[in-house]
Structure 1
Amino acid sequence: MSEQQQKKKAGVFDIRFVIGGLLGAYGIILILLGLFNATEEELARGDGLNINLWGGIGMLVVAIAFAAWARLRPVVVPADPT
């Protein structure tokens, strides 16, 4: 077999996909809370800034960065460790 055929990628088992997925899920939850559940009391605590919305957007951006990083620079696992 050629050297290229013996190498496999970690795929979805790459820890960057797991971290990106969790950050993305939490980010979407925070975005939804910021859009549909922002009360005047919560906005006053954040000095008029919708913290849930901006925090969720930040988490979603980081999740996309993790997914892009894992996709562009995959971990290569040797097929036969011996």
Structure 2
Amino acid sequence: MADNADRYQGGEAHDPLVDETEDAREEHSAAARLFDIRRVIGGLFVAYGLIVGLMGLFDSSAEIDKAQGLRINLWAGAVMLVFGLLMLLWQRLRPTEAPPARSDGS
């Protein structure tokens, strides 16, 4: 009788296996979000956009003349930065869901 009383907490059944399954599902979901391709692509584009944009800010006059008066590195860096930020925003607004756990059927 005491064993049955230990299983109930607050009037609800408590099963430690359910807790372990939920913890494993949360860990799997966190791993899926961590390795989301949108995060990788967004991070790389933001980093390269900053680097190329900073190079465009400090272009010499010879480099500007080579691009026919256009600060091409500055514009390319800005586009890369915006694209990377959009990828990160998309990943933030629509996070990936972990795929359902497969049952072995055994």
TM-score, normalised with respect to structure 1: 0.82
**C-alpha displacement at 1:35, in angstroms?**
1.1
1:47 aligns with 2:68: yes
Q: Which of residues 5, 22, 31 in structure 1 aligns to 2:44? A: 22
Alpha-carbon distance between aligned partners in 1 of 2:91 and 2:101, rounded to the nearest angstrom = 22
Q: Identify unmatched segments of 5+ residues in structure 2.
A: 1-17
Identity of aligned residues (%): 45
Aligned to 1:33: 55
Aligned partners of 1:17 and 1:66 also within 8 Å? yes
Q: Distance in 1 between matches of 2:102 and 2:92?
A: 23
Higher mean Cα deviation, 53-62 or 7-16? 7-16
Supply the distance in 1 between the matched residues of 2:92 and 2:81 (Cα, whole angstroms). 16
TM-score relative to the length of structure 2: 0.65
Letter in 1 for 2:86: A
Match of 1:61 in 2: 82
Structure 1 unaligned segments of length 5 or more: list them: none
Following superposition, the deviation at residue 80 of structure 1 comes to 2.8
Q: Which has the higher contact order (CA 8 A, sep 6+)?
A: 1
Shift of residue 49 of structure 1?
A: 0.8
